Amino acid sequence: MLALFIVSGAGVVLLGVLDWDGFIVPSWVRVVIGLPLGLVGNVLALWAIVALGIAPTSGGEGAFVFRGPYRYSRNPQYVGFILALVGWALITNSAFVLIVSLAGIIPLLLVPFTEESWLLERHGTAYMEYKRTVPRFIAFKK
């Protein structure tokens, strides 16, 4: 999934540069909403990649991780990618980037459902407890 995101992310960046400012997003929205979303999304995704490790992020075997951003979300990389895509779509003010980003967000919302059975098979009771206490996408502990 990481390799696919890198390739498609590069394409979205290039598309945004080529179609810069071709839509209807006001300048203040680009700066006040788009920029923070993009920054937070990228930082969250990178933090999650570091916490999980490159091999497991790329689909390889790894230890079960429930530290760092994984305390708040079972899928912090996907949450970060989604925020980054929305932020970039707003920053570039491009209808094309918005459409491509929305198309890219759909798999990021669906993939966790397929990964859960694999994680349950590999990590058993530990994953069941984790799944019970940590939301699929995001929540803040009280």
Q: Give me the mean pLDDT over the 116-134 stretch.
A: 89
Residue pLDDT, tens place only, 21-61:
889 889 999 999 999 999 999 999 999 999 988 877 777 77
Asked, for residue 30, whether it belongs to a domain, the answer is yes
Nearest one of 69, 39, 78, 71 to 51, comparing CA atoms: 69
pLDDT at site 54: 82
- The answer to whether residue 138 sits within a structural domain is no
- pTM, to two decimals: 0.86
The residues, ordered by sequence, that sit 6+ positions from 37 with a Cβ below 8 Å of its Cβ are 83, 84, 86, 87, 90
Q: Side chain identity at 71, as an amino acid letter?
A: R
Domain enclosing residue 27, as ranges = 2-133
Task: Identify whether 52 is part of a domain.
Answer: yes
- Domains in the chain, number: 1
